[in-house]
Amino acid sequence: MRLRFNPKTAAAGVLLAAGLAAAAVTAAMLAGPGQAGAAAPAAPVPLAPSPDGIALAAPDASAVRVPSSPQAWGGIRSGQEATLSDRVVHYDIDATLDPDKHTVTGRQKLTWRNRSQVAVKSVYLHLYMNAFAGSGSTFFTEKLQREAAFRSGVDIKEGEWGHIALNRVAQDGAAVPWTFVHPDNGPASDHTVVRFDLPAAVAAGASTTLDIDFLTKLPRVMARTGYFGSFHLVGQWFPKIGVLELPGERGATAPRWNVHEFHLNSEFYADFGSYDVRITAPKAYTVGATGERQGAPVENKDMLTHRFVQGDVHDFAWTADKRTAKPLVETWTGPGSPQVTVTVLYPPEYAASAKPALKAAKDSLSYFSNTLGPYPYKTLTVVIPPHNAEEAGGMEYPTFFTAEGYAKVEPDTLAQYALDFVTIHEFGHGYFYGLLASNEFEEPMLDEGLNEYWDARMVRERGQKIFLTTPFLRKLGFAPSIEVFDGDRLASPRNDPADAVGQNAWNRLQDIGPVYTRTATMMRDLEAAIGKEATERAFKEYYRRWKFRHPSAADLRETLAEVTGQRALVERVFEQQVYASSRIDDRIASLSSREVLPAPGTRQVGGAWVEDKQADLDKRIEQTRERWKKAHPDARAGSGPYPYRTEVLLRRYGATVPQTLLVKFADGSSKTVHWDADEKWRTFSWTTPSKAVSAELDPQRRHYLDTSKLDDSRTLEADGSATRRWSMDFAAVVQALLSLIANV
Which chain residues interact with Zn ion by CB under 5 A?
1, 448
Closer to Zn ion by CB, 448 or 527: give it.
448
Smallest distance from Zn ion to CB 458, Å: 14
Smallest separation (angstroms) from Zn ion to the CB of 349: 25
CA atoms within 13 A on the CB side of 225: 27
Quote the least distance from Cβ 637 to Zn ion, whole Å. 54
Q: How far is the CB of 269 from Zn ion (least distance, A)?
A: 15
Helices 448-461 & 414-428 angle (0-180, nearest 10): 130
Nearer to Zn ion by C-beta: 160 or 448?
448
Query: Which DSSP letter does residue 95 get?
Result: E
C-beta neighbour count of 656 within 10 angstroms: 17
Closest CB to Zn ion among 184 and 448?
448
Q: How far is the CB of 421 from Zn ion (least distance, A)?
A: 11
Closest CA to 287 of 398, 381, 419: 381
Q: How far is CA 289 from CA 270, 286, 381, 399, 402, in A?
A: 18, 10, 7, 8, 11
Render the burial of 215-229: b for 16+ CB within 10 Å, e for the rest. ebbbbbbbbbbbbbb
Tell me, what DSSP letter sits at residue 253? Answer: S
Compute the distance between CA of residue 699 and CA of residue 161 in angstroms, rounded to an integer.
Answer: 54
Query: In this complex, which beta carbon is closest to Zn ion, that of residue 190 or of residue 511?
Result: 511
SS3 283: coil
**SS3 call for 507:** coil
Q: Please, what is the minimum distance in Å from the beta carbon of residue 314 to Zn ion? A: 16
| Of 376, 307, 464, 331, residue with least CA distance to 77 | 376
Nearer to Zn ion, 112 or 268 (CB): 268
- Nearer of residues 448 and 711 to Zn ion, judged by Cβ: 448
List, in order, residues 6 or more apart from 138 with CB less than 8 Å away.
131, 182, 184, 186, 187, 190, 192, 261, 262, 263, 264
Residue nearest to Zn ion (CB): 1
For residue 570, the SS3 value is helix
Distance (Å) of CA 544 to CA 534, 548, 549, 581? 15, 9, 10, 29
Sign of CA dihedral 147, 150, 156, 162: negative
End-to-end Cα spacing for the chain: 28
For Zn ion, the closer of residues 456 and 657 by Cβ is 456
Would strands 328-332 and 240-241 be described as parallel, antiparallel, or unpaired? unpaired
The least CB distance from residue 451 to Zn ion, in Å, is 6
Question: In the bound complex, what is the minimum distance in angstroms from residue 394's beta carbon to Zn ion?
Answer: 7
Closer residue to Zn ion, CB minimum distance, 448 or 525: 448
| 15 in Cβ contact with 22 (< 8 Å) | yes
Those residues with Cβ within 8 angstroms of residue 475's Cβ, 6 or more apart along the chain or in another chain: none
Using the minimum distance from each CB to Zn ion, give the nearer residue, 524 or 709. Answer: 524
- At closest approach, how far in Å is the CB of 399 from Zn ion? 16
- Between 183 and 444, CB nearer to Zn ion: 444
CB of 429 to Zn ion, least distance (A): 6
Q: Which residue, 226 or 394, has its beta carbon nearer to Zn ion?
A: 394
Shortest CB 690 distance to Zn ion, Å: 52
Element (H, E) at 513: helix 513-530
Burial of 118 (0-12, 13-18, 19+ CB in 10 A): middle
Complex with Zn ion: residue 245 or 448, whichever CB lies closer: 448
**Shortest Å distance, C-beta 67 to Zn ion:** 25
